[in-house]
């Protein structure tokens, strides 16, 4: 399946409960405004819970599961959209039911929203909605860019929301026939429970590999490359993939025991892992001073950036800043295999002083027949434009493009290429937004 088909299948799964409900809608459900509002209130509850459970299933982050989606970033995008739709549906659920009861009396409408104790079924629904508000709030741009670790911890409240919503549904359900209701919710809930259990418990024990910091190479005053040797099982991966790294050096100023995503820059057949890290925050700044022989844990690999098998097709690579990492790993792999690839790399940096890997890239492209390197300096040449690309790579429109770097560069390069006639289907990007 293509990533588009995989995403489509996930959305179809999320609407299955609605497909079960709709054939059972009776004429009396449409007979007057109150009945219609009640129907819509019940349908938003069913759909909201279904979307919430499917979004939870996608949170498992089992290595390899992201590849049918086109990589973990694309899977997360689907996860976020499902969660946002679930939130909006569940937000509409109680007021619709209250409005349906308002035709009888204001007291009846109030009791729907704020029932007297011990109506635990309704109160659990409110607990689920409140938990969703708290853990989803950092995802909305209105609140600004969320701090990574705080965002991760708040998202654990999703388990509270899921459990409360499920109990609320089992206590009050009357929309789906009982037998079908038990089956569909148990299946979706089972998948969600397995996903949460893997993420919070089992991934720490069976999904992480122990590595030791063997060497630390300073590439610049804010960029290092770690060389890691396995302390047991080694990681199997392909060039361009990334991992979550968790350091266990207690002398670190920040980031001890915290996982963060970093791209592998080693070639898959190397006996060690190499990871290049730029100072972009508290944890990545602290890890610049990590001690040799300290332990780290590696979870992965993730990503579906490059083709799974080498092809004879022509490629255009656009890298910005530390976004050079996946291209560096692939060039090292190609050079080690003495493989040929018609690939043109445009390496975008601010100026010559920040072209940290230029010398090694020059050496690598010389060892890969068909590979070429062009440096683009922002301070001298301005934003990367179609004119620059066409001048250095005249046949770019017929190449498959791979872009990695800051979000601003990715979006600018994507607009530039599509505006110049490159098909969107021939543009592959890799971002690291709240992974």
Burial 198-237 (b: 16+ CB within 10 A, else e): bbeeebeeebbbebebeebeeeeebbbbbbbebeeebbeb
Kindly report the number of other CB atoms within 10 A of residue 23's CB atom: 6
Q: Are residues 267 and 319 in the same domain?
A: no
DSSP 3-state assignment of 173?
A: coil
DSSP string, 302-367: E---S-SS--S--EEEEEEGGGGHHHHHHHHHHHHTT----EEEEEEESSGGG-TTHHHHHHHHHH
Question: Strands of 208-220's sheet, edge to edge?
Answer: 260-263, 242-247, 295-302, 208-220, 223-230, 273-278
Residue 308 falls inside a structural domain = no
What is the average per-residue pLDDT within 48-58? 92
Eight-class DSSP state of 201: I
Show the tokens assigned to 364: 């690598």
233 and 349 fall within a common domain: no
Is residue 310, in this structure, part of any structural domain at all? no
CA distance 222 to 272: 23
Residues 136, 268 within the same domain: no
Q: What is the pLDDT of residue 148?
A: 65
| Residue ending a domain, choose from 254, 279, 302 | 302
Considering the domain architecture, whether residues 65 and 168 belong to the same structural domain is answered as yes
Q: How far is CA 313 from the centre of its chain?
A: 28
Residue 102: partners with Cβ closer than 8 Å, 6 or more residues away: 34, 108, 109
Looking at the structure, do residues 153 and 14 belong to the same domain, yes or no?
Answer: yes
- Whether the per-residue pLDDT at 31 is higher than 60: the answer is yes
* Residues contacting residue 370 through CB under 8 Å, at least 6 positions apart: 340, 341, 342, 343
Residue-wise pLDDT for 354-389, tens only, equals 888 999 999 999 999 999 999 999 999 998 988 999
**52 vs 170: which has the higher pLDDT:** 52
Helix H or strand E encompassing 54: helix 33-57
pLDDT given at position 81: 92
Contact between residue 22 and residue 71 where contact means Cβ atoms under 8 Å apart: no
Other Cβ atoms closer than 10 A to 405? 24
Flag whether 89 is in a domain. yes
pLDDT at res. 89 = 92
The residue out of 205, 239, 273 marking a domain boundary is 205
Who contacts 374 (Cβ-Cβ below 8 Å, separation ≥6)? 344, 345, 346, 347, 392, 393
CATH number at residue 132: 1.20.120.1770
If one compares 160 and 292, the residue with the highest pLDDT of the two is 292
d(CA 287, CA 243): 16
Six-digit token string for 37: 């509002």
Separation CA 299–CA 275 (nearest Å): 13
pLDDT at site 296: 97
| This prediction's pTM | 0.85
Non-local CB neighbours of 148 within 8 Å, separated by 6+ positions: 260, 281, 283, 434
175 & 225 share domain: no
Q: What angle do CA 327, 286, 156 make, to 5 degrees?
A: 85
**In this structure, are 41 and 184 located in the same domain?**
yes
Domain presence at residue 92: yes
346 with 412: CB under 8 angstroms?
no
Residue 435 in this model has a pLDDT that exceeds 60: no
127: pLDDT strictly greater than 60? yes
pLDDT band at 131 (very low <50, low <70, confident <90, very high): confident
Q: Residue 280: its pLDDT value, please?
A: 87
Percentage of the chain with pLDDT > 70?
90
How confident is the model over 137-163, as a mean pLDDT?
68
Q: Is residue 307 part of a domain?
A: no
The domain containing residue 24 runs over which residues? Answer: 3-205
Domain count, the chain: 3
**SS3 assignment, position 199:** helix
The first and second tokens of residue 186, run together, are: 């148990």
Q: What is the pLDDT of residue 184?
A: 83
Q: What's residue 104's pLDDT?
A: 57
Residues 63 and 81 in one domain: yes
Do residues 216 and 78 both lie within one domain? no
Confidence of residue 185 (pLDDT cuts 50, 70, 90): confident
Instruction: Encode 347-378: b = buried (16+ Cβ within 10 Å), e = exposed.
Output: bbbeeeebbbbeeebeebbeebeebebbbbbe
Which of these, 163, 161, 152, 141, lies nearest to 61 by C-alpha position? Answer: 152
- 277 occurs within a structural domain: yes
Boundary (domain end) residue, out of 267, 302, 337? 302
In a domain, residue 15? The reply is yes
Q: Which residue has the higher pLDDT, 323 or 197?
A: 323
Distance CA 5, CA 139 (A): 26
| Residues 41 and 80 placed together within one structural domain of the fold | yes
The reported pLDDT for the residue numbered 162 is 82
pLDDT at 45 over 70: yes
Average model confidence (pLDDT) across the chain? 87
In a domain, 262, yes or no: yes
Residues 63 and 195 in one domain: yes
Per-residue model confidence (pLDDT) at position 159? 77
CATH number at residue 295: 2.40.30.10
pLDDT band at residue 174 under the 50/70/90 scheme:
low
For residues 167 and 280, membership in a common domain is answered with no
């Amino acid at each position: 399946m293509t990533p588009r088909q995989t995403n489509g299948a996930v959305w179809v799964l999320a609407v299955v409960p609605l497909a079960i409900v709709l054939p059972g809608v009776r004429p009396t459900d449409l007979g007057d405004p109150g009945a219609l509002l009640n129907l819509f209130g019940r349908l938003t509850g069913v759909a909201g819970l279904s979307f919430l459970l499917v979004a939870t299933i996608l949170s498992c982050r089992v290595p390899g599961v992201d590849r049918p989606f086109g990589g973990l970033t694309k899977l997360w995008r689907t996860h976020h959209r499902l969660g946002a739709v679930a939130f909006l549906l569940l937000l509409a659920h109680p007021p619709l039911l209250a409005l349906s009861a308002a035709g009888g009396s204001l007291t009846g409408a109030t009791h729907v929203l704020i029932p007297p104790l011990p109506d635990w079924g309704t109160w659990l629904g409110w607990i689920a909605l409140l938990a969703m508000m708290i853990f989803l709030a950092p995802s909305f741009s209105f609140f600004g860019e969320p701090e990574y670790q705080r965002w991760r911890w708040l998202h654990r409240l999703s388990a509270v929301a899921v459990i409360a919503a499920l109990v609320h549904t089992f206590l009050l359900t009357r929309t789906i026939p009982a037998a079908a209701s038990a089956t569909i919710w148990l299946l979706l809930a089972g998948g969600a429970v397995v996903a949460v259990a893997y993420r919070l418990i089992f991934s720490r024990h069976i999904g992480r590999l122990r590595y030791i910091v063997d060497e630390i190479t300073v590439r610049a005053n804010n960029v290092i490359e770690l060389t890691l040797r396995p302390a047991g099982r080694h990681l199997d991966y392909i060039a361009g993939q990334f991992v979550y790294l968790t350091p266990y050096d207690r002398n670190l100023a920040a980031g001890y025991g915290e996982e963060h995503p970093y791209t592998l820059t080693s070639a898959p057949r190397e006996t060690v892992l190499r990871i290049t890290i730029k100072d972009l925050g508290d944890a990545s700044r602290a890890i610049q001073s990590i001690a040799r022989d300290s332990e780290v844990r590696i979870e992965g690999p993730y990503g579906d950036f490059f083709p799974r098998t080498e092809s004879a097709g022509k490629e255009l690579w656009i890298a910005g800043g530390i976004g050079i990492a996946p291209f560096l790993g692939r060039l090292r792999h190609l050079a080690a295999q003495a493989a040929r690839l018609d690939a043109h790399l445009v390496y975008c940096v601010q100026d010559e002083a920040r072209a940290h890997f230029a010398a090694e890239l020059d050496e690598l492209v010389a060892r890969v027949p068909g590979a070429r390197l062009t440096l683009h300096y922002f301070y001298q040449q301005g934003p990367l434009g179609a004119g620059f690309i066409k001048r250095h790579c005249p046949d770019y429109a017929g190449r498959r493009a791979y872009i990695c770097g800051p979000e601003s560069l990715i979006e600018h390069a994507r607009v530039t290429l599509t505006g110049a006639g490159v098909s969107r289907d021939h543009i592959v990007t890799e971002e690291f937004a709240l992974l």
